Structure 1
Amino acid sequence: MPTERLTFTGHSGDTLTARLDLPDGPHLATALFAHCFTCSKDIPAARRISARLAGAGFAVLRFDFTGLGHSEGEFENTSFTTNIRDLELAAEALAARGMAPGLLIGHSLGGAAVLAAAGGIDSVRAVATLAAPFDPGHVLHNFAGAMDRIEADGAAEVTLGGRPIRIGRGFVEDVRAEALEDKIEHLGRALLVMHAPRDAVVGIDNAAAIFKAAKHPKSFVTLDEADHLITDPDDAEYAAQVIAAWATRYLDLAAPAPPPGAPEGVVRVSEADADGFLQDVNAGPGHHVLADEPAAYGGTDRGMSPYGFLAAGLGACTSMTIRMYARRKGWPLEHVSVDVTHDKVHAQDAASRAEAKADKFTRSVRLTGDLDDDQRQRLLEIADKCPVHRTLERSSVVETHLA
């Protein structure tokens, strides 16, 4: 996954730092990610979700809000309103590169921020929140013990996530005054709410309130056992897969024209996990799947194996070919299913090589419908006319070169 480091100017003129994670292939859409309260663009959940979305063809910008991470400025002088402005400026920076964001993603308070900012970013068509509070003032409980000092002195240092950070009175007053209900009701964009029922930091009732306030199209997906920061890699990957699949319904994913000599377009396979065998498989704007190896062979079993995909191609082509023939003949075929297994067997015709192996694919075809014996036999014969079957039976030419 290629990543660019870039900067843009924040609400107060300070330089904000960002990472733009790019797909290893055609750029289909752009997302803008807002991190959780006092976190940074490099929090594990943000990195993992961004990487998985990049694997599905999304460019994802994640940045540090003013005064956080590697961005300039003083956090104690910021507010929820300035966070929203930083988001708008991030969207403008993307638009200047010809990559205006169609999707906003916000985690925790960042989720509240994208709900508030979406209406001011014309390019946005979809918004996804992760563990977001309905009331931004919810964050105040994180430093309730310092509220008297903040009120009296204008700012105070509190410890959040094991590190000290100064909170200003302006931030406190701003989040207290912010009300999201009207903005959610008039969002005018597709909304995906994701939340864990056992989130101990921002309760699930927040998700219910956001969902209730929103108009359709809206969706809710549970994050099951995930913690508030989505620290488990499997939870982050699940969230990214759901967001990518959901967003394709609402974004205009424009894929490049297929190159000459490849009428079906390019199938791009890129490594998703250098420590294992997980692969991102993309075929056009609407088709993203994972390939992997079983755990017994060093993989993580999060996708079909390469031979599984090969068997799937044979089974799908067989079923389609039978259906096309029965439809043309007007036969009463109601349903087709094909079971395919793959094995390596000793090649009977390779006498000169005692250890030579051949690939054996076994198909079991089920035909449902009021068909007579002759029709069933003919459809079984037609299965052998499947183009993938013919490709597997005859020699193929595979040309390989360095890109």
Structure 2
Amino acid sequence: MPTEKIAIVAGAGHTLSGALELPTGLVRGAALFAHCFTCTKQSKAAVAVTRTLAREGIATLRFDFTGLGGSDGEFGRAGFATDVADLVASAEALVQRFAQPLLLVGHSLGGAAVLAAAKELGGHKVAAIATIGAPSDVPHVLANIKGDLAAIRAAGQGEVRIAGRSFNLSREFIERVESVDLLGEVAGLRKPLLLLHSPTDDVVGIEHASALFGAAKHPKSFVSLDGADHLLLDEADAEFAASIIASWAHRYLPLREDWPMPEEGVIVRTGHGKFGTEVHTIGHRFVADEPRSLGGDDSGPTPYDLLNAALGTCTAMTMTMYAVRKGWPLEGLSIQVTHERDHADECNHVAAMEQGRQIQALNRRITIEGHTLDEAQRAKLIEIADKCPVHRTLEGVLHVHTRTSD
């Protein structure tokens, strides 16, 4: 996926480091991802979730909270309230860019932060909220801090270890964490909420998901991340969580009004990738791209894949319709189509007729399934393959007319 570096000015004036994962094609919606406690935007879960959402057409920003990763500021004095302020500043930047309500996604303490930030952002800027392994009470994170918190309260600051790393925490940090009533915040959300949690999470127990679900108002949903660890270190778990979130969020991130919806034919629009384009038919859409070996993002079939598919699918449909009409016991078809750029060596007489024009070919290999079909029926079906409409179009006199459009 194309990744764009983003700098966000936080409410305190320092700069937050962000990475915006963009769809190869067009943008269906926008999302903001909040990472776990002391993690960064480069954590496995942050990268996997945001890129999976981007593949689903949702531009997703992940960023480092104050004092972490590439962001300025002092983590030890920030606290939960600063995390929420960072989220609000990042969300405002996304709303300004994409001009539509956002999907908020938070992992672990980041999940608690998006729940708290939603209220500050207001109803018109938040479309829906999803959390992964979120705690129901913010002070829960203090249990993961190794150090003398009582001494820090008395002295004003002190050194602790979190996830094996050293930090200098302030009394203000601890007090800000302890003052949050997250369940009260959740009870007043009035926004679609999806909770994802592993029943075997040994960092934030499953009872936290139960408490959040009980406090929230409908519409609310819960998905069990069976077998996943708290940090989603297995990329497959992170991608599964993201795919669930994307499917669920589509209900709350409607198509943008500027998306092309043709009344006939197809419309192709360039997207954010180097070569990626989005193809829209009357009722469907998909992305076409080039492979990585040619500088693309490999996020969809190539133009020649689509050409081969046009012939292959039309062939299969035509043969199937004929067999059904005849009442023949055709059980299935497998059709392989390949493109040959230089076919002149195999048909020199045609090359001469074409007066030097490049001769190309589509090679079609058909496997007919149906053990009770006789040889005459099989031969007739192969004959019918050459009569499919796309085949006739490709071998007929075909003109392509191009004009500009205002």
TM over 0.5: yes
Alpha-carbon distance between aligned partners in 2 of 1:222 and 1:385, rounded to the nearest angstrom: 51
Return the letter of the residue paired with 1:68: L
Letter in 1 for 2:365: K
Q: Does 1:123 align with 2:128?
A: no
Could you tell me how far 1:84 is from its partner in structure 2?
1.1
Sort the Cα spacing of 1:383 and 1:241 in 2 relative to 1 into closer, same or farther, 3 A. farther
Q: Say which structure, 1 or 2, has more relative contact order (CA 8 Å, 6+ apart).
A: 2
- Equivalent AA in structure 2 for residue 32 of structure 1: L
- What is the match of residue 171 of structure 1? 173
Q: Which runs of 5+ in 1 are unaligned?
A: 272-279, 292-301, 327-336, 345-349, 366-381, 399-403
SS in 2 for 1:132: coil
Q: Using the TM superposition, give the Cα deviation of residue 32 of structure 1 relative to its aligned residue in structure 2, in angstroms.
A: 0.7
The alpha-carbon deviation at position 87 of structure 1 amounts to 0.8
1:20 & 1:139 partners in 2: Cα distance? Answer: 28
TM-score w.r.t. length of structure 2: 0.71
Please list the CA deviations of residues 35-59 of structure 1 after superposition, one character each: whole Å capped at 9, or x if unmatched. 1111111212111211222222221
Deviates more, 1:187-196 or 1:383-392: 383-392
Distance in 1 between residues matched to 2:199 and 2:241, nearest whole Å:
15
- Deviations 1:20-73 (Å, cap 9, x if unpaired)? 222222122111111111111121211121122222222111111112111111
| Aligned twin of 2:53 | 53
Q: Which residue in the other structure is 1:181 paired with?
A: 183
Query: Is the contact between residue 56 and residue 288 of structure 1 (CA under 8 Å) also seen in structure 2?
Result: no
1:142–1:257: structure 2 CA closer, same or farther, 3 Å change rule? closer
Structure number with bigger Rg: 2
Give the partner amino acid of 1:220: F
Deviation at 1:256? 4.6
1:316 Cα deviation after fit: 9.9
Instruction: Between 140-149 and 313-322, report the one with greater CA deviation.
Output: 313-322
Residue 304 of structure 1: how far off its partner (Å): 11
Equivalent residue number for residue 63 of structure 2: 63
Q: Tell me whether 45-54 or 125-134 shows the greater mean CA deviation.
A: 45-54
Residue 357 of structure 1, CA deviation: 9.5
Equivalent residue, structure 2, for 1:231 = 233
Corresponding residue for residue 158 of structure 1: 160
Moved over 6 A (4+): 259-262, 267-271, 288-291, 302-323, 382-386, 388-398
SS of 2:65's partner is coil
Q: Distance in 2 between matches of 1:257 and 1:21?
A: 20
Q: CA deviation at 1:233?
A: 1.6
Aligned match of 1:5? 5
Q: Structure 2: any 5+ residue segments left out of the alignment?
A: 290-298, 325-330, 339-345, 349-360, 371-383, 401-406
Name the SS of the counterpart of 1:184 in structure 2. helix
User: 1:123-167 CA deviation, whole Å, 9 max, x = no partner?
Assistant: 211111111111111101111542222222222222222221122
Counterparts in 2 of 1:303 and 1:27: CA distance versus 1, 3 Å = closer
Q: Distance in 2 between matches of 1:186 and 1:363?
A: 61
1:359 to 364, 369, 378: 364
Q: Which residue of 1 is the match for residue 19 of structure 2?
A: 19
- Alignment CA distance shift 1:5-1:270 (3 Å): closer
The structure 1 residue matched to 2:251, chosen from 230, 242, 249, is 249
Q: Counterparts in 2 of 1:281-292, with a 5 A limit?
A: none
CA distance in 2, matches of 1:74, 1:202: 26
Which residue of structure 2 lines up, in the alignment, with residue 211 of structure 1?
Answer: 213
Matched, 1:38 2:43: no
Q: 1:274 is matched with which residue?
A: none
d(CA) in 2 for partners of 1:95 and 1:188? 20
Shift of 1:262: 7.7
Match of residue 140 from structure 2 = 138
- For 2:161, give the aligned amino acid: T
> Hey, what's the Cα distance between the residues in 2 that align with 1:88 and 1:339?
55
AA paired with 1:359? Answer: R
Kindly provide the CA deviation profile for residues 257-289 of structure 1, in whole angstroms up to 9, marking residues without a partner as x: 549998233398999xxxxxxxx9965598669
Aligned length: 359
